[in-house]
Amino acid sequence: MNNLSLYLASVFIWGSTWIVITFQYGSVAPEVSVAYRFWLAALMLMAWSAVTKSRLRFTLKEHAWLALQGALLFGINYVCVYRAEQHIASGLTAVIFSIMVFLNILGARAFFATPMALKALLGATLGVTGVAIICWPGTGKSLGSGMVATGISLALCATVSASLGNLVSQRNQKHGLPVVQGNAFSMFYGATLVGLFCWALHKPFALDTSFRYLGSLAYLALFGSVLAFGSYLKLVGRIGAGRAGYTMVAIPMVALLISTFFEGLRWEWSLALGVALCIGGNVLVLAPTAVRKPGPEPA
């Protein structure tokens, strides 16, 4: 897959998971659902790697880096997101999470000395502004909850954790760790960390056997975890976490379109303006002068 295909796969799959995640809430604790999702995804990836006879043996040092990637990207990140949305509207969470664009660019500069192209920074600014305009009307319902500060803090923790996880993934790929097998172990380590967290808090490992829950779990594990993360992290390895992270701005646009068709979302001038800014930001970031041509794929 070329860079554009990887980008579109990440955006459209993750854009659909926002509505699918809502099917997971109910009798199963959100943290337990996160653990189930990534244990299942890790099993899928390991089975695929075994069938294709891909490398599944790594050194202790490599496992340590994969565990760090899993803890940041598949563990802390998702627990904080799920908990944040218990206190603030999902729109506000999406706005905060889009700040990862800036964190990725700054992190890539700090850890990998990646140049910061002016067009990429301007495009990210336009995109984040667009997301803020789009999501602002949906934040009002949370303002009287009394727990806004807690929700914002958790969302910020999720954003920082996800950005650091992206940078660790970029580092791992630069050192020759394969994406598929690396994700298999990282997801397993992340899910196990979340599972230990649930055990420590005495959260029951219940299982909802309804089609709604099991179907959404399968979709989130296969498409939202295996395929989307594989595409995204491959993109991170090719063009860096800064530019790949801009998918976090485009994803809400897909979620908006899905909401329009399936939830009857009404378009107003502010929504149209926000989408226009997001599209403009995408054009700038993906312009040839803003994104360097990819080098050789990691081994």
Percent of the chain with pLDDT over 90: 32
3-state secondary structure at position 253: helix
What pLDDT, in 10s, does the model give residues 230-258? 888 788 778 876 677 677 777 877 877 78
pTM of the predicted model as reported, rounded to 2 decimal places: 0.79
What pLDDT, in 10s, does the model give residues 200-230? 999 999 999 999 999 999 999 999 888 888 8
201 Cβ contact list (under 8 Å, min separation 6): 31
Domain boundaries, the chain: 3-286
For the chain, the residue count is 299
What pLDDT, in 10s, does the model give residues 29-87? 999 999 999 999 999 999 999 998 888 899 999 999 999 999 999 999 999 988 877 77
For residue 261, pLDDT over 50 is answered with yes
For residue 278, pLDDT over 50 is answered with yes
What pLDDT, in 10s, does the model give residues 7-34? 889 889 988 887 887 788 888 999 999 9
SS3 content of the chain, % helix, strand, coil (to 5): 75, 0, 25
Counting beta carbons within 10 angstroms of the beta carbon of residue 293, is it exposed (0 to 12), middle (13 to 18) or buried (19 or more)? exposed
> How much is the average pLDDT of 161-180?
90
pLDDT value at position 207?
93
